[in-house]
Amino acid sequence: MTTAILSGLIRPLVEPRLPEWVEPRWFMSKEEALALAPTAEIGWFDFTQPDAMAEVVTAATNLKWLNSIYAGLDFLPLDLLAHRGTVVTNGAGINAITIAEYAVMLMLTHAKGYREVVRAQDRHEWLMDSPGKRELCGERVLLLGLGAIGALVKTRLEAFGMEVVPVRRSPDAGSLGPDAWRAQLGGFDWIVLAVPSTPETRHLVGAEELATMKPSAVLVNVARGEVVDQDALVAALRERRIEGALLDVTTPEPLPADHPLWDAPGAQVTMHLSGRAQTRMFQRSADRFIANLARWRAGEPVTPRLDLTLGY
């Protein structure tokens, strides 16, 4: 028998389908998970608090395979997991559809001034003109990150008639290389960030990049807050050096109520909700986990596997 320590939140979706060789033990709190963790060969330790999840993973000294619903696991002790030889599968692609849809929604909301329309309705005020007159069609988008999310963002924006130029490690005729995009930043109307959080992508967009953007440029971040130098972004927005920043992610999270980013001109902050704007996340994750159990038993690779060296 293989001991699997699993969150009770996914028990209804998983338990009826578990194979006989799996001995499940369920937890509903961090304390219960910590008590069970040392016995785990397979673990699914998702918590909404990253510190709690990292603590439980650290306590799982016999863990052979760690599964998670989250795509970004940079908050875990990846070096320790690599040293232990733990295989890690993440939630890459689970929420890609809804995050891509959310990115498009943010862009349309900004382009059409829809927040002002909603506020006018709250005031019972009949507007005589649209507060937003920007059209997506014909505008240029620089897309950093062409994974599961970025690929879906690209096709959806192209359906609006936008020119989407991705950044690739091996660029082709329709893309830019990792060393070329900064020199062409001034030619884009929108900059969309969908990259993983790694030391390489920390402050990928900082003061220098913001200074290069055109005054009408809009930054869209559905990646991680630390991908952007947030202090430099607040300064750029306050000085009206770029038109807007549409941010589903911030540093830290939750963003303190008195943080200047909330009231920065042109900023929209949507509280890291893009991946939660759907109903099928847990079902997709359960289906993937059950399929991976069969692969694990057969000695086949489980997917999608996190590269513990790269962090994604």
| pLDDT (0 to 100) of residue 77 | 97
| pLDDT (0 to 100) of residue 218 | 98
| pLDDT (0 to 100) of residue 276 | 87
Q: Which of 266, 186, 279 is nearest to 234 (CA)?
A: 266
How far, in Å, CA of 269 to CA of 221, rounded?
A: 10
pLDDT per position as a tens digit, 191-212: 999 999 889 999 999 999 999 9
Say if CB 56 and CB 37 are below 8 A apart: yes
Domains of the chain: 2-93+279-298 (3.40.50.720), 96-276 (3.40.50.720)
How far, in Å, CA of 296 to CA of 292, rounded?
A: 6
Neighbours of 278 (CB within 10 A): 15
| pLDDT (0 to 100) of residue 187 | 98
Spatial CB neighbours of 161, under 8 Å, sequence gap ≥ 6: 136, 137, 138
How far, in Å, CA of 248 to CA of 261, rounded?
A: 12
How far, in Å, CA of 289 to CA of 14, rounded?
A: 8
- State the burial class of residue 49 (Cβ atoms within 10 Å of its Cβ: 0-12, 13-18, 19+): exposed
**Measured CA distances, 63 to 39, 184, 189, 254, 262 (Å):** 8, 46, 47, 30, 41
Is 288 in the active site?
no
| pLDDT (0 to 100) of residue 150 | 97
Among the listed residues 84, 182, 259, 272, the single catalytic one is 272
Among the listed residues 224, 226, 243, 288, the single catalytic one is 224
| pLDDT (0 to 100) of residue 278 | 87
| pLDDT (0 to 100) of residue 31 | 97
Strands (E), the chain: 2-7, 22-27, 42-44, 65-67, 87-89, 140-144, 163-167, 190-193, 218-221, 244-247, 267-269
Is 272 in the active site?
yes
Q: Which of 156, 160, 176, 163 is nearest to 103 (CA)?
A: 156
Can you read off the two tokens belonging to residue 24? 């499940």
Say if CB 175 and CB 223 are below 8 A apart: no
| pLDDT (0 to 100) of residue 169 | 87
pLDDT per position as a tens digit, 123-181: 999 999 999 999 999 999 999 999 999 999 999 999 999 999 999 988 888 999 999 99
| pLDDT (0 to 100) of residue 277 | 87
Can you read off the two tokens belonging to residue 169? 């490690």
Per-10-residue mean pLDDT, the chain, length 312: 96 97 98 98 95 97 97 94 97 94 98 98 98 98 96 98 95 93 98 94 97 98 97 98 98 97 98 91 95 98 95 86
Per-residue burial over 195-233, b if 16 or more Cβ lie within 10 Å, else e, is bbbbeebeebbbeebbebbeeebbbbbbbbbbbbbbebb
| pLDDT (0 to 100) of residue 312 | 86
Answer whether 0.85 is exceeded by the pTM: yes
3-state secondary structure of 227: helix
Q: Provide the 8-state DSSP code for 300.
A: P
User: For the chain, first and last CA: distance in Å?
Assistant: 31
Can you read off the two tokens belonging to residue 133? 């007159």
